[in-house]
Each structure stands twice: as structure tokens, then as C-alpha cells.
Structure 1
């Protein structure tokens, strides 16, 4: 199967150079669902690019009869972030121009709609697919107004111009997967909405974080949040509907590295998930893996109680009990005293979930996360 490759003009720089997005579209013989998968929204989080490259290779080897619907793949989806550097280190989590987090800029239709209750009331006699099409039409109409603002003489800031190009690719998708990794060092896991958590086990990751609080500004949230709001409004009116729409963030390992194990787990999980959703015809049975689920507020972050150097820190996925030493802080006192070694202990039970890359910390800087599970 040969992909349709589309190159999209993204941003023109002061130098005259132009940044582009490239979309790889695989279209099956039969009509069906649309899956949208992107990577590298944060500049240092590069592992998803290898996942997408392997998915492209895999899909190219298939016959179009083995794909029902469409799969759109967008690697290096944020060229500005990917190319940011500070000495040897990739940064690119925040836009260097305005300081905004690249994954907190997206357009959430729910925030601007004022007639959701009225719309839901008008749809009570319709079938779910009709309601979906009608609501999607409203979203697209509002989205066209975004383009009008961009094309006005006053235009809009870079974040709004960028998000328009990226979100336009997935407004009509059924399933969205946004591949990230830790900015530091972390285990593999997924972020998901509790309303869709039944599907999480098909991503074949050992851990899943339930988004108990969200504002709709992240890419996965902006896609699904308006639909969850419509589901709640319809339920309040006595019509229980669950649209077959899902979004996931995959967090695969550590920033600035292409960890082969994280890549392999990401590829296997996405292929299995697409087979579960009947987009791919799989020669092997669809697998449902055991997954440990925890709410986001159960991630306990530890910050340095004073400045110094981290030593004897526990490694990722180590299970700890309350009171266990999780790291030592070597603190240098410039007051005529000897250096001090401070033991820092866990406040709760759980696993070591994420650790800082830099083991030199000022007071109050991040050291590690422990997931209470």
C-alpha cells in the first residue's frame, strides 16, 4: 500500500525559509474510521518519530484490503520546537517567542459554544451517527471562523496560526494518538479520559493515568472534550450515547533519546489498538493487556529541599514504601561546615515513575515523581 504524501506550508521565517508539515495518508479499499497519529509536539520528545517511521514501513507492506478506513501519520509535527537548542540539549517544550507550552495552546470548541443544551435538545430523536455529523458540522463552522481571523489584516499570534494547521488535520478523525515522552526520564504509559478507559488495555502499556482534571488546551483534550460535553448534555436529557471517538497521549520513555524498547512497545500497542478498532486486519488475535490505572492527582512530585547534587537515587519502576529512602542530596555548605548528605524518604507507597535528567539541583527544583498505585 502506497501512502498519499501531502506537504503542508506551516510557517515562514524572517530569513525567508519555510517550515513544513508532512502527512502520510494510508487509505483502505473500504470506507471506515479515521485514525490520526502525530509525534514530537514537544521538541525534545523524539521517540514517536521512530514509532511513526516503523508504522509507515509496516503499512506500506500491507495490501489496501487489509485497511478499512484511513490512517494519517504526522511525524515531527512541530518543526519550531524540534529545532530549539540550548548548548547540547534539545528544549522545545515552550515556544521561545512567547513562553507558551506547545501543548497548551489548542482550540477547545466546548469553551466557545453557547448553545450546547439547545443543540442537544434538538437531537433527541436522531440516531448517534446523525448527531455526530450534525455536531461535527457545527465544530467545522466555528473552525472556519478561526481561519477568517488568521487571514484578517491584524492576523493572530503564532500559536493560533500553528494550531490551526495542526488541528485541521484531525477535526474529523475518530481516533487521535499524540505520541510524547518525558522531558526527563520516565516509564512508558498512557494518558486517557476515564470515559474511554475501557480501550486503554489495547494500547499494551503497563500503566495508564486517568485525566481527572483538564482544561481542554492540550491536543488530546481539545479533540475529545467537546464530544464528552455533548454526551453529558444528552445524558441529562435522558439519551445515553457514547460516540466511538477517542484520544490518547502515549508517553514513551525519556526525552532526547530513541529508546528501542519504548519504540517497540509504542509500535506494538498502536498496531494492536488499530486492529481492536477494526481499522487494521490483524493476522494475530487482538490482545488486551493488564494495565494499572491511577488518577493524575496520585502522581506525587518531589522537589529538592535544598540545593545540591542527587546521589543514590532509586531507578525507574522501583517499588517503594512510605519511609523508604528514595535519594540522597549531597549539599555543600559555604559557612565553614563540612558537606552534608541528606536522606530524602518517600511519603507514600508506589513506584518511581519519572526522574530528572539533571542530578544537580537548586533548592525547589524537580527531582522525581512517585506514582501512588
Structure 2
């Protein structure tokens, strides 16, 4: 059994309705290192829900055997709001139908307020500074207004993770190979996690933009380290990552058990759980920059026909897909080739095969930064 299970009630969006978050905690409260895991913040990304169940099974065993050295917090269903958004039998879980936008954007940036409160209070002791920064982040977050249900959801999730040493936000793409996003400042941790998971790509960035959950957790640390450099050492005390667990249809016990076991081994290597994880697998890929990912865009409406498969190597200028105009001329032959701007790996693509003008439908992960990919605007909503 978990050390504790907490039920967080969200503000009622309408009379007679109530949604809640369930938070499971393993290990001693306040023990270090602390790990936080959440699944399906984008509520239509189901693989993480099953991975969380296998992870809980492993944590139950570790708890029973007394092997949890730190603290592990798991939110197995991170977005009850999005899970309730069904239209004509289809789950619409990426965007809030109330109009607040993408569920994984717009988390509070606590940096500025935290920096102001830390001025003149830092010491020469890194450990003391880490504890002070965590306390201040918690205080600043607690003061953030959250009247709407989705605002309260975001604040509640962040409150569970803001003081963690490790944060894992479990997502997936439409159709994809397993990959992850992390900060370039934490390359070592990202590489180790990528090796453990067998990731096909490890995408590193300095500032993705939009303030997603992982950046809201880890971003204050590298920003404060720079802003307070003259006042005292501020280590990067939070590694946060978004793990893309393949595609939306990749929901199997085999994959989920494998992924959960990999996460548990990573926690063992980082001292959160006691045990012998065995040799670290070799990384299947070299880390590449997020601004080196070519995001292919449909120039018009039409039917997508891929000429490359997931996992294929793509050359710069090579045709990845063709866009078929069902009403175009010459009849039966109206096709527009869409080419890659980079050499790399076809990493992900959307599930639908009917594209709208300007729709982003495919990602090719390259090694070199692309001029049109700008810091602060690297995430495609």
C-alpha cells in the first residue's frame, strides 16, 4: 500500500459536478531524492495511463520490501477535466474546451517572484540554497490565483512536483517512436534516461516556449542559477522531462511493463529506490537539438500519403509524403510532394490522413539547428 493517498478536489465547473485528482505517495514524506510521475496531462494520450499502473505495481512491491529510500509521488490520471471531454464518441483531451488552450501550456512561471524573495538570502552552501529555493517556490506557487477548474488543476499538479528532484511527465504522439524532451543543461540525466527507455531520440532544448509542465518544474532552476550567480551557488536540483511513449494506439501491457521497469531502474540508479538495476543499456541515439526537428506542414488541404515510414532515415530534400487533392487536376494525378528540410530520423507523425492547410503533420529529427525553428517557439500545439 502507498504511504498515503490524497484526493484533491477541483473547483466545480458547474452545479452538480466535481472532479478530483488522486495522488499516491510512497516512502517517507520529505525523504530525498523525491521523484514525481504523472500520466496523460494530454488526456487523449492513453499509453501513460497504463504505464502508471505498471509503475504502481512495481512501487507496491518496493514499498512492501522496504526498498524505497526517497519519496515517489504518482498521479496516475493527471487530467480528469480532459478525460470528460467527449464529442460524438471521440475523446478531445489535448485542449481545454473551456477556452484556456493546450493543457500542457501556460503553467505558472515562478522564476521572477522567487528571485525577488531570494535577493540577499543566498549562502555559500549549495544544499542550504537548494532547500531555500524549494521553500520559496512552494510559497510563490501557493499564492497563484486559480479560480477556474483548469487553472486549479495546473496549480495542483505543479504543487506536487515543484520541489521534486526528478519529474516525469508521460505523454505520447499520434504515431511515434519512443522519445523524450529535456533541457540541454541536463544532458547527462537525459542520456541516462534515454538509454534506460531505449529511446529513439533524445531532444534537448534551452527554452521550448509556452511554459509546459516540465519547463515549469525545471526552468526556474537554470534561470535562478544565472540570475543569482553573484549571490551564491544554485545547483540544478530538478531534472524534468517529457517522455513520449510512442503513439496513441500503442497501448499494450508488454510496452507498459517494459517502460515502467525502465523508469524504476532509473530511480534505482539515482538513489530513490534501493536495488540492483543491472548494467545501463547503450543509448540507441545521439542527443539532438529540439530546434533541429523539422516539422513538416501541409501547404493545402488534401489526403496525406507517406513515402517514408516511422524510423526511416530521411535525407534533406527527400520526399516524405505526398498531398493528394481529391478535386484537383489532372484528374487522379493532383499530388504535391512534401520534402524534408533536414537529414534525420522520421520520428513522429499525426494519426489522421486528411490534412488541413497549415497543419503540422510530421517530425524529422535532425542533428543541426534549423533557421526557422526559434527558441521559445519550439512546441507545436
| Match for residue 336 of structure 2 among 314, 339, 342 | 342
Look up the match of 1:14.
Answer: 14
Look up the match of 1:172.
Answer: 163
Look up the match of 2:374.
Answer: none
Shift of 1:278: 0.6
The residue correspondences of 1:1-373 to structure 2 (distance < 5 A) are 2-27=2-27, 31-62=31-62, 63-113=64-114, 115=116, 119=118, 121-125=120-124, 127-146=125-144, 149-150=145-146, 156-182=147-173, 184-203=174-193, 204=196, 205-215=199-209, 217-235=211-229, 237=230, 239-255=232-248, 257-260=250-253, 262-285=255-278, 287=280, 289-290=282-283, 291-333=285-327, 337-373=331-367
Provide Cα deviations, 1:228-258, integer angstroms capped at 9, x if missing partner: 12222343x2855524321111111112551
Structure 2: 5+ residue runs without aligned partners? 368-381
Indicate how the Cα distance of structure 1 residues 356 and 144 shifts in structure 2: closer, same or farther if over 3 A, else same: closer
Structure 1: 5+ residue runs without aligned partners? 151-155
TM-score w.r.t. length of structure 1: 0.88
Provide runs of 4+ in structure 1 moved above 6 Å: none
Distance 2:36 2:96 in 1: 24
Indicate how the Cα distance of structure 1 residues 121 and 30 shifts in structure 2: closer, same or farther if over 3 A, else same: closer
The worse-fitting range, judged by mean Cα deviation, of 207-216 and 255-264 is: 255-264
Distance 1:69 1:265 in 2: 23
**Rg larger in structure:** 1
The worse-fitting range, judged by mean Cα deviation, of 49-58 and 307-316 is: 307-316
Distance 2:112 2:281 in 1: 35
Provide Cα deviations, 1:71-94, integer angstroms capped at 9, x if missing partner: 111011110112222334322111
Instruction: Report the count of equivalent residues.
Output: 361
Indicate how the Cα distance of structure 1 residues 334 and 315 shifts in structure 2: closer, same or farther if over 3 A, else same: closer
Shift of 1:274: 0.4
Shift of 1:214: 3.2
Look up the match of 1:153.
Answer: none
Distance 1:104 1:269 in 2: 27
Does the Cα contact within 8 Å between 1:90 and 1:256 map onto a contact in 2?
no
Indicate how the Cα distance of structure 1 residues 335 and 157 shifts in structure 2: closer, same or farther if over 3 A, else same: same
Does the Cα contact within 8 Å between 1:353 and 1:369 map onto a contact in 2?
yes
The worse-fitting range, judged by mean Cα deviation, of 259-268 and 213-222 is: 259-268
Does the Cα contact within 8 Å between 2:130 and 2:235 map onto a contact in 1?
no
